[in-house]
Amino acid sequence: MGDVKIGQIRLAKVEEDRGSLCYAEEGTHLPFLVKRIYYIYNVPTESERGAHAHRNLEQVLIAVNGSFDIEIDDGYRKETIHLNEPSVGLYIGKMHWRRLFNFSESAICLVLASLIYEEKDYIRNYYDFAREMHGKN
Ligand code: TYD
């Protein structure tokens, strides 16, 4: 993945009559070692998640059930990605403001994370994020 800051990740998929299985391994599918996982679910359709950036954290988000939209803002431009396929992940590098919204009923967002949770890694104020991105104090 190198210095690509966001991008689609295709997980390996094993489809059989008895069901489907997806997997991702560090090096082959994931550009970092996973130190933490969490998932977001039971999200009311009108709710939003995220609305923050991370200084050092890298993540892969996967819609393991249902679908949702992710708006990514690198401080210069915004892009919205729709996730709706358990074998596809979105890699998000550090310093991207993200907003998750438009959750379908029963949607589950699985997050693979490169670091243990640390509140200091979060930027929760958009103006602080923009200032850090544009190198102003
Ligand atoms: P937050 O990352 O703000 O949620 P979202 O981006 O989905 O809106 O986390 C919500 C709360 O959960 C916040 O109080 C921090 C806590 N939390 C942990 O304690 N550990 C974790 O690994 C995560 C992701 C969140």
The contacts of residue 54 (CB under 8 Å, 6+ apart) are: 94, 95, 96, 121, 122, 123
Buried b (16+ CB within 10 A) or exposed e, 116-137: eeeeeeebeeeeebbeebeeee
Q: What's this model's pTM, rounded to 2 decimal places?
A: 0.95
Catalytic-residue membership of 52: yes
DSSP class of residue 57 equals -
The sheet with strand 68-73 has its strands ordered as 78-83, 68-73, 97-101, 49-54, 122-123
What ligand 1 atom has the least distance to the C-alpha of 36? 22
Give the pLDDT band of residue 2 (cuts 50, 70, 90).
Answer: very low
- Residue of minimum CA distance from atom 20 in ligand 1: 117
Nearest atom within ligand 1 for CA of residue 111: 24
pLDDT in tens, 83-120: 999 999 999 999 999 999 999 999 999 999 999 999 99
d(CA 73, CA 88): 20
Return the residue whose CA atom lies nearest to atom 9 of ligand 1.
50
Cα–Cα distance for residue pair 8/113, rounded to 1 Å = 15
pLDDT in tens, 16-71: 999 999 999 999 999 999 999 999 999 999 999 999 999 999 999 999 999 999 99
Mean pLDDT of 63-84: 97
